[in-house]
Amino acid sequence: MKTAPAAWTDFTAATPIGTDFSNAYNWYPAFLSNGTVLFGKDGETLTGTTAANAQGVQALKWFAAQKANAGVKNSGTALLADFQAGKTSAVLDGPWDATNIQKFLGSNMGVTTLPTIDFGSGSKQMQAFSGVGTLAINAKTPSADIPAANALAQYLSNEESQMALYKAEAAIPVSTSAQTNSTITADPVAQAVIKQVANDTLMPKMPEMATFWTEAAPIIQNAYLGKTPAAQFQTQLTKFVTDISKAVN
């Protein structure tokens, strides 16, 4: 296939695509794709989550419908094993899997951005959580040591260091100048990620994300498995929003 499908229905029209509906990092953004927000549009508003609305319920109904989609396989932790065994034709996951997939596909490996999804009210571009590593200086650092700590942080985050990390660990650089490096522009995985970022939502850094991770995964997984009746979707989402909106001290 020279051109990747652009819509979820096309991706899942033939042989199954492998995924893991217990992975909230990959799948909670479906709610964002359908128009809800997490901790407000700025990602920093404690009471700003809107998942307990019609769009949120619609997203859960979509997850539930995937159980009957023959073009979807909930591989879970066997995501790459199922792919390598030929049980799935593609996987939906992040760039961290690219190196392993390259090993058994070689030049046959293809990569693309996330597809569009129709949750029931028209096609929406699927989002992902966008996140980058950060280097921070401890606020309790002795004043005499701050210049050295600052210099180290700047060195570890400069373009040269980002390229070194890319070559060693395939970590895609966040520096826009590094992204123009010929090595990066020739890497289809890096290019897909860079292109996808324009559609994504920056992952919130709120401490309440600890509660979010605990509750988001089972809500999605249980909707897919049919363990949660559709009549309970609204109640579950309301509880979820209430719980993550409680300040963590």
pLDDT in tens, the chain (249 residues): 678 889 999 999 988 999 999 999 999 999 999 999 999 999 999 999 999 999 999 999 999 999 999 999 999 999 999 999 999 999 999 898 898 999 989 999 999 999 999 999 999 999 999 987 788 899 999 999 999 999 999 999 999 999 999 999 889 999 999 999 999 999 999 999 999 999 999 999 999 999 999 999 999 999 999 999 999 999 999 999 999 999 987
Whose CA is closest to 118, among 171, 66, 185, 192? 66
Task: Pull the structure tokens for residue 66.
Answer: 């995937």
Measured between its terminal Cα atoms, the distance across the chain in Å is 51
Residue 88 vs residues 15, 16, 65, 220: alpha-carbon distances, Å: 6, 5, 19, 21
Measured CA to CA, the distance from residue 21 to residue 76 in angstroms comes to 7
pLDDT digits (tens, 9 = 90+) for 83-113: 999 999 999 998 988 989 999 899 999 999 9
Backbone Cα Rg of the chain = 20
Tell me the percentage of the chain whose pLDDT exceeds 90. 90
The answer to whether 189 touches 111, Cβ cutoff 8 Å, is: yes
Q: Return the pLDDT at 134.
A: 83
pTM value surpassing 0.85: yes
DSSP state for residue 144 in the 8-state scheme: G
Q: Are 174 and 158 in contact (CB under 8 A)?
A: no
**What is the per-residue pLDDT for 1?**
61
Tens digits of residue pLDDT in 166-187 = 999 889 999 999 999 999 999 9
Burial of 169 (0-12, 13-18, 19+ CB in 10 A): exposed
Helix spans in the chain (H): 8-11, 24-27, 29-33, 54-65, 79-84, 98-105, 146-157, 159-169, 182-185, 188-197, 209-225, 233-244
Report how far residue 14's alpha carbon sits from residue 190's, in angstroms, rounded to the nearest whole number. 27
DSSP 7: B
Contact between 21 and 127 under an 8 Å Cβ cutoff? The reply is no
Q: Which of 48, 222, 23 is nearest to 129 (CA)?
A: 23
| CA count, 13 A, side-chain hemisphere, 126 | 22
Residue 211's φ and ψ, nearest 5 degrees, are -70, -40
